Amino acid sequence: MKEVVERMRPLFYPKSVAIVGASDNPTRFGYARLKCLLDFGYKGAVYPVNPRLAGKEVLGLKCYGSVLDIPDEVDLAYMDVSARTALSVLRDCGKKGVKAAIIFAGGFSEVGDEGRKLEDEIQAIAKETGMVILGPNCIGVTNLYANLCTFALNLGNLNLDARSLEPGKISLIAQSGTLSVSFLLLSLVRGFHPGKIVSSGNEVVVTLTEVLEYFVEDPDTKVIAMYIEAVRNGRKFIELCRSTTKPLVALKAGKFEAGKSAARSHTAAIAGSVEVWNAVCKQAGIIQAESFEELYELSMALASPLRPHGNRVAIVSVLGGPAVIASDACERQGLRVPKLTEESVKRLRQILPPIASVTNPVDTTGSVMENINMFRDALEVVCQDPNIDMIITMPPIMHAPSLINISRAVVDAARQYGKPIVVVWALPFGVKMREFEEAIRILSEGEVPHCYMPERATKMLSALLTQTELEKKKAKARGF
């Protein structure tokens, strides 16, 4: 096993957690953080620490006056204290032999020289003790494989039972706490869950590049998503990216002048130029996302195990307008919408009603709502067509049973024929409809990516195509 996996273990899979600054006041982060950890169903030992509450109970757990008072070993310590206090607590952690720590507080190098000095001290402690320190100015780690979440989410507000969240294949490194939470929440709405999320903050000890190294080695991570304001160790970063065939998707912010100065005050990093970044992505084999939602959606597409053999797309739609938009969007993305074979056209004519369109895009018409076999058979014909590499399909929007039936048929077809399929909903996420939620669950479980509005689907398919080429190129470079 690679050294990085062993080194990062206490951060991602701690056997015990101390929450320094734990509070009995529900309005404080020190309370929310503890509650969130318990709500996620974390199974290791949890030790609240707060001198003011020493000997009392917080959320049913005995509170200690100092980490030094904890009778057992501590793998991971949360520092829910101010910048200045964090340093003295960190020294205690060093004495105690704590293996990893997360510093949440801001007020370090991003605010000036005084903060920079504090960071130097953190670095010195890390060097001396070997402690793995994440932050400061971050929100830490979520690892659904270990029921671990340091994000202080109020799950009551979210109507969420976090214990039952299935861990997924996507891991995210984000130089933004907000976007770490946002990614997690987006995945709850959209159905493809992440496995691990890291908010890396000011990266005094653990850097984005080191987390990347860990994700490259982590067997549960199949897709690596990144929100990057600045890379501190460029050469190593590029080497790592080139070394892996795991899909890498990145959203780079701070590309432009205005963004750069904002990034500087955000995490105290120096951001590079657009051109430099584009060159890095090309060299390193990184797929670029143009927005945060796209970062999630491309990760979702790449988390599906299917890869296309070419750029030829069939559109199988119950809907007219979105099919037209999808055709346009394919062309804009350099994807082709070719003719189906004569054989396919003949078979489709037998299957579909006379008013259906049996050219590509295939417009099944709404008749399939009353006859799911019709949709299933038409989809099969298209999947079997040798002219077709990938499929975009669009279920009807208001017919509840077909939402579920079509989702099932799509999952079956993707499994059987091995061609990537993306489902495009004309139903906006957030519409209150039980069957829609169920359909999303079916697709996610079946690893069929899905999105709202066709332009997104073509970007997803285009990313699949790029990744397929990257995988070939990387495999070849390694001499396979």
Alpha-carbon distance of 349 to 355, in angstroms, equals: 10
188 touching a second copy, by CB under 8 A? yes
Cβ closer to a second copy: 209 or 317? 317
Of 248 and 253, the one with the shorter C-beta distance to a second copy is 253
Question: With respect to a second copy, which residue has the nearer C-beta, 138 or 383?
Answer: 138
Find the part of the chain contacting a second copy (CB under 8 A) among 64-72, 285-293, 414-422, 469-477: 285-293
According to CB under 8 A, which one of 67, 330, 448, 464 is a site residue for a second copy? 330
Nearer to a second copy, 132 or 319 (CB): 319
Per-residue tokens: 76: 């991971």
Query: Residues 226, 249: contact at Cβ < 8 Å?
Result: yes
Helix (H, G, I), strand (E, B) or coil at 224: strand
276 binds a second copy, rule: CB under 8 A:
no
Nearer to a second copy, 159 or 164 (CB): 159
Contact between 373 and a second copy per CB under 8 A = no
Nearer to a second copy, 18 or 298 (CB): 298
- 65 vs 107, beta carbon nearer a second copy: 107
Q: How far is the CB of 72 from a second copy (least distance, A)?
A: 31
Beta bridge partners of 354: none
52 counts as binding a second copy under rule CB under 8 A: no
Q: How far is the CB of 26 from a second copy (least distance, A)?
A: 12
Rule CB under 8 A: say whether 178 interacts with a second copy: yes
Residue 419 neighbours by CB under 8 Å, 6+ apart: 306, 308, 383, 388, 389, 390, 391
Count the residues of the shown chain that bind a second copy, applying the rule CB under 8 A.
Answer: 88
The answer to whether 172 and 194 have CB atoms below 8 angstroms apart is yes
Q: Of residues 72, 120, 239, 290, which one binds a second copy by CB under 8 A?
A: 290
Q: Using only the alpha carbons of the chain, give its radius of gyration.
A: 25
314 sits in which H/E element: strand 313-317
- Residue 250 interacts with a second copy (CB under 8 A): yes or no: no
Residue selected from 107, 167, 310, 446 as contacting a second copy according to rule CB under 8 A = 107
Q: Nearer Cβ to a second copy, position 221 or 327?
A: 327
Report the nearest approach of a second copy to the CB of residue 322 (Å): 6
432 binds a second copy (CB under 8 A): yes
Does residue 265 belong to the site contacting a second copy (CB under 8 A)?
Answer: yes
Backbone torsions φ then ψ of 291, nearest 5 degrees = -150, 170
Residue 246: helix, strand or coil by DSSP?
coil
Site for a second copy in 440-469 (CB under 8 A): 452-453, 455
Per CB under 8 A, does 350 bind a second copy? no
Q: Which two tokens stand for residue 126?
A: 């890390």
CA distance 294 to 219: 24
Per-residue HEC secondary structure of 49-69 comes to: ECHHHCCCEECCEECECCHHH
The only residue of 85, 245, 341, 357 in contact with a second copy, by rule CB under 8 A? 357
Q: Which of 480, 81, 444, 109 is nearest to 297 (CA)?
A: 444
Q: Are strands 287-288 and 194-199 parallel, antiparallel or unpaired?
A: unpaired
38 binds a second copy (CB under 8 A): no
Characterize 374-403 residue by residue with b for buried, 16 or more Cβ atoms within 10 angstroms of its Cβ, and e for exposed: bbbbbbbbbbbbeebbbbbbbbbbebeebb
- State the Cα–Cα distance between residues 436 and 407, nearest whole angstrom: 10
The token duo for 281 is 């992505």
Nearer to a second copy, 10 or 106 (CB): 106
Place of tokens 């080497």: 239
User: Does residue 176 belong to the site contacting a second copy (CB under 8 A)?
Assistant: yes
158: contact with a second copy by CB under 8 A: yes
Establish if 148 lies at the interface with a second copy (CB under 8 A). no
Q: Which stretch binds a second copy (CB under 8 A): 42-50, 313-321, 344-352, 463-471?
A: 313-321
